[in-house]
Amino acid sequence: MRARKIAAGVLLMAASVYTAGHLVAGTIVPGQRGDAPSPIAWVTIPAGTFQMGCVPGDRECNTDEQPRHAVTISKSFQLMATEVTAGAYSALMGEVDEQPPWSTTPDHPVVIVTWEEADAFCQKVGGRLPTEAEWEYAARGGRDGAIYPWGNETPADDPSLPNGAALESDRPLPVKSYKANGYGLFDIAGNVWEWTADVGTLYREDPVTDPEGLASGSTRIVRGGSFGDAASNLRVSNRTPNRPDRVNVNVGFRCARTLPS
């Protein structure tokens, strides 16, 4: 059983900086044990239309990634620049006693969280979990038609390379260890799987606008692959169902935020 030391009287403050060509608004998460507050960076993702699902020439394509279809994201939204860290999560939600041995710094991604716990954190910072469509659109970083967020090059576990990502390893690295995609999102492929809002459903050929999964179901979709996966799981169209009450050493999350109309 996992113990929780729930933080009380949490105060959230707004901050903003400009980075990687995108306005990023931050939520200040209180520090612990005298540490300074650490900002959560939010990247603004512009509205637009993209092709969701397997791209032509992808030999690893699974049946649930088809058919490829047009999706319109009608409004700009924000997504966290990084996966939620162990430090940010514990400061807001309480300490998680069962973090893995490799989680040695506050900047490692938090894992071993259920879908409900991830959703609760996002709500506390004024956000929500992203839909599958939002996640894939943002992960592509404006590069529609590519197998991975950076293009078609197979990922390499080398932070110095444009196609660097944590994979086929025994542990992730602290967030921002690898290069960001075209929208300024770090570790969107590899490191840890990320919960999305959606219950898994099959795709249809018809164009759709702002799609959402079913309201309830036995699984929720995780995206992005993890440090322990082969390259095929890091493909941007790859989707994997996971029980919402299940905790995994390689599943974390990042939050989305709706912008005011």
pLDDT score of 38: 58
Its pTM stands at: 0.87
pLDDT > 80? residue 12: no
Alpha helices for 44-168 (secondary structure H):
86-93, 115-124, 132-140
pLDDT > 50? residue 26: yes
Give CA–CA dist 239/22, Å, rounded: 27
Contacts of 93 (CB under 8 A, 6+ apart): 4, 6, 7, 117, 120, 121, 124
Task: State pLDDT tens for residues 85-142.
Answer: 999 999 999 877 678 999 899 999 999 999 999 999 999 999 999 999 999 999 999 9
Confidence band for 250, pLDDT divided at 50, 70 and 90: very high
Q: Average pLDDT, stretch 194-211? A: 95
Q: Average pLDDT, stretch 170-177? A: 96
Residue 224 one-letter amino acid: G
pLDDT > 80? residue 37: no
User: For 14-258, which CATH class?
Assistant: alpha beta
State what percent of residues in the chain have pLDDT above 90.
77
Cβ neighbour number for residue 89 with a 10 Å cutoff: 24
Query: b/e string for 19-43 if b means 16 or more Cβ within 10 A?
Result: eeebebbbbbbbeeeeeeebbbbbb
Confidence band for 31, pLDDT divided at 50, 70 and 90: very low
Which of 130, 129, 128, 135 lies closest to 52, judged by CA? Answer: 135
- Give me the residue spans of the domains in the chain: 14-258
Q: Specify the pairing of strand 48-52 against strand 69-73.
A: antiparallel
Confidence band for 5, pLDDT divided at 50, 70 and 90: very low
Backbone angles phi, psi at 128, to 5 degrees: -165, 170
Q: Which one has a higher pLDDT value, 165 or 1?
A: 165
pLDDT score of 11: 24
Task: State pLDDT tens for residues 39-82.
Answer: 789 999 999 999 999 999 999 999 999 999 999 999 999 999 99
